[in-house]
Structure 1
Amino acid sequence: MTELEIRAFLTALQSGSITSAAGKLYVTQPALSKRIQALENELGYRLIKRGKGQRTIELTDKGEAFVPVAERYLELWKEAREIDRMDQAGTLRVSAVNSISTYLFPTVCSGFMAENPEYLLKFSNYHSLEAYGHVAEGQIDLALISDDMEVRGVETVPLFEEDMLLALGPGTRYAEAVHPSQLNASDEIRLPWSPEYDLWHDFRFKSSACARMVLDQMSLMEYFLGFRDVWAIIPATAALKLREKLGIAIRPLEEGPPAQIIYYLKRKTDRNGAAEKFLAVMERELERIEAVSRHVRRATVR
């Protein structure tokens, strides 16, 4: 099983046909078909259904099951090749929950790389529970999360807290401060935050209330906030960036949800200088945000 064979299979799947995949990989169609057949021969089972006149890719049941294995194989192959680069540079592996990675991390990562060009920065997007597992297993050096828990061998440190603010689409009719009772639940763009937020939301809007749409990626929200009369409740760091980027209206909430606390995770036994440098850049960015907004506060207990 080789990288070329795995890449041939995944590219064919993504492209929808052998012909299209061959063009993307700059090989002939027969050559690409041979790579996939060689992979199937080594595995001992068919990955792709084949039929007379069939033009599009259709996977067998075993082919479907093999897809995540193939994706992990390529990721491991990539990491194996990066070991050579680690001789010349240290590696810092960081992760963050979606709201932090989308709107806070770009500035922090840029600052870290500018000040520390000797390091290879590897970033992953993980939910809090996933991040704990990866930090505990030593696969991630530093993770920013929003749902804290007790995990053996992992240190959880409060970094900052941020208010949850109301982001409004065009045509807003709301005053400077808004009470949840004034909001129309059917205009909401709903995103997942924390169990505490969900409890507050269900109390204020009832668990049966239907939102306009439910998203799991903050980047998608930028488009939908352009719809008239829509609203979303989002963390302050994201709200400030969106106001700067899109010019949307941001309002505080009376009797709003509890502030979101962001923690960083690291292994208790690790002494990682690169992680400390990254946190120093993060602290400076938080200090800058604090200077312009009362809705973001660094943690007092460190």
Structure 2
Amino acid sequence: MLFSEEINTFLAVVRSGSLLQAAEIVCATQSTVSYRIQSLERRVGHPLLLRSRGARGISLTTEGERFLDIAERWKMLEIEAEQLKASHERHLAIGAVDAVAIHLLPPFLSALSDELPPIRLHLETSRYFQLFNRVASGHLDVAFTLTSADRGDLTSTPIRDYPMVIACAGAKASPLADEVDLTDFDPSREIYLPWSSTFDLWRARRGLSRLTTTVDKGHMLAPILRNGAWAIVASFLAPSLREQTGCTIHRLAIDAPAPLTLYKIARKGDNAVEDRQQRLIDGALETLRRDA
């Protein structure tokens, strides 16, 4: 008898091309992934993967190619069986990057939680590239990121844009205007958040250094935004930063960085999420489109 976790692990290895990425997809250690593949090969009676020392990526043996078709058909049957079992239950698996989960998704999740009959939700956060893999593998129905997925098996639907603003905790003799210039701020007091590659290019063009205080998560900013420090942040962070730190929020009058876009990531041509549930997602998304 073939075990579900072994089939799912095999498919994750094939789709990702590496044991390490497959381990992230199935939420297991790399050694566990190797053990499951070896166990599956013993059951099938043939090696399924070619493992060349020093080679990049993993390829299939002839038997592995034949078994891949069986595994994919088995996966579809498993999905159909789960849908039959849960025919009277609505379920959504949703992922998001941390900043989106903390600052943007609460109204969206509240709208889903108010639906009747109730929707059983699975929620998780991770880095954007890990979320892409989780959606592609079928572990998540949808994910919300601040980076589009440049992949043929995924769709990236823009939800809305958020302008970049400056949060400043400085105590100046005269208050800053709502619209400011970058030269109004001391570059040595900047706190850098890595929003995107486009944002990094803008910083380099404006002469801002990477050798400055850095945080890689938005929720880590508030404790150190003090004593003249400032940071360029997406506008959705502004309300909580103002409440926690008393900072002032300003717009750049000239040559501001490009807005940050919120994307909905889904599988291309996916029928796993029923039309009714997809309508629920899109309806709940209206809370994000209208909330500033």
Deviation for aligned residue 1:241: 4.0
Q: What TM-score, normalized to structure 1?
A: 0.61
- Separation (CA, whole Å) in 2 of partners of 1:277 and 1:214: 38
- Separation (CA, whole Å) in 1 of partners of 2:197 and 2:244: 29
- Separation (CA, whole Å) in 1 of partners of 2:221 and 2:95: 21
Name the counterpart of 1:281.
284
Greater CA deviation, 215-224 or 145-154?
Answer: 145-154
- Separation (CA, whole Å) in 2 of partners of 1:117 and 1:197: 43
Provide, for residues 24-70 of structure 1, a one-character-per-residue CA deviation record: whole Å limited to 9, x for no partner: xxxxxxxxxxxxxxxxxxxxxxxxxxxxxxxxxxxxxxxxxxxx739
Equivalent residue of 2:148, what SS? coil
Deviation for aligned residue 1:275: 4.2
- Give me the identity figure in percent: 24
Name the counterpart of 2:181.
179
Deviation for aligned residue 1:117: 6.0
Deviation for aligned residue 1:128: 2.4
Provide, for residues 147-166 of structure 1, a one-character-per-residue CA deviation record: whole Å limited to 9, x for no partner: 22431221111111111011
Residues 115 and 182 of structure 1, relative CA distance in 2, 3 Å threshold: same
Provide, for residues 186-226 of structure 1, a one-character-per-residue CA deviation record: whole Å limited to 9, x for no partner: 2112111110000001121344x532x2111111112222x
Equivalent residue of 1:186, what SS? helix
Equivalent residue of 1:115, what SS? coil
Return the letter of the residue paired with 2:277: A
Provide, for residues 172-194 of structure 1, a one-character-per-residue CA deviation record: whole Å limited to 9, x for no partner: 55322121222212211211111
Name the counterpart of 1:250.
249
Deviation for aligned residue 1:87: 7.7
Equivalent residue of 1:205, what SS? coil
Name the counterpart of 1:69.
29
- Separation (CA, whole Å) in 1 of partners of 2:189 and 2:211: 9
In the alignment, structure 2 segments of 5+ residues that lack a partner are: 1-27, 34-81
Equivalent residue of 2:29, what SS? helix
Residues 123 and 251 of structure 1, relative CA distance in 2, 3 Å threshold: same
**Are 1:196 and 2:198 an aligned pair?**
yes
Is the 1:167–1:239 contact (alpha carbons within 8 Å) kept by the matching residues of 2? yes
Equivalent residue of 1:252, what SS? strand
Name the counterpart of 1:80.
none
Equivalent residue of 2:139, what SS? coil
Return the letter of the residue paired with 1:158: P
Matches within 5 A, 1:204-283: 204-207=206-209, 209-211=210-212, 213-225=213-225, 227-243=226-242, 246-254=245-253, 255-271=255-271, 272=273, 273-283=276-286
Is the 2:170–2:230 contact (alpha carbons within 8 Å) kept by the matching residues of 1? no
- Paired residues, what number? 210
Deviation for aligned residue 1:138: 0.9
- Separation (CA, whole Å) in 2 of partners of 1:91 and 1:178: 47
Is the 1:171–1:229 contact (alpha carbons within 8 Å) kept by the matching residues of 2? yes
Deviation for aligned residue 1:95: 1.4
- Separation (CA, whole Å) in 1 of partners of 2:252 and 2:122: 37
In the alignment, structure 1 segments of 5+ residues that lack a partner are: 1-67, 74-82, 290-302
Is the 1:176–1:251 contact (alpha carbons within 8 Å) kept by the matching residues of 2? yes
Residues 115 and 267 of structure 1, relative CA distance in 2, 3 Å threshold: same
Residues 194 and 157 of structure 1, relative CA distance in 2, 3 Å threshold: same
Q: What TM-score, normalized to structure 2?
A: 0.63
- Separation (CA, whole Å) in 2 of partners of 1:149 and 1:284: 23
Residues 186 and 86 of structure 1, relative CA distance in 2, 3 Å threshold: farther
Is the 1:181–1:204 contact (alpha carbons within 8 Å) kept by the matching residues of 2? no
Deviation for aligned residue 1:103: 0.7
- Separation (CA, whole Å) in 2 of partners of 1:170 and 1:91: 47
Name the counterpart of 1:163.
163
Equivalent residue of 2:283, what SS? helix
Is the 2:164–2:233 contact (alpha carbons within 8 Å) kept by the matching residues of 1? yes
Is the 2:89–2:120 contact (alpha carbons within 8 Å) kept by the matching residues of 1? yes
- Separation (CA, whole Å) in 1 of partners of 2:106 and 2:132: 22
Is the 1:191–1:216 contact (alpha carbons within 8 Å) kept by the matching residues of 2? yes
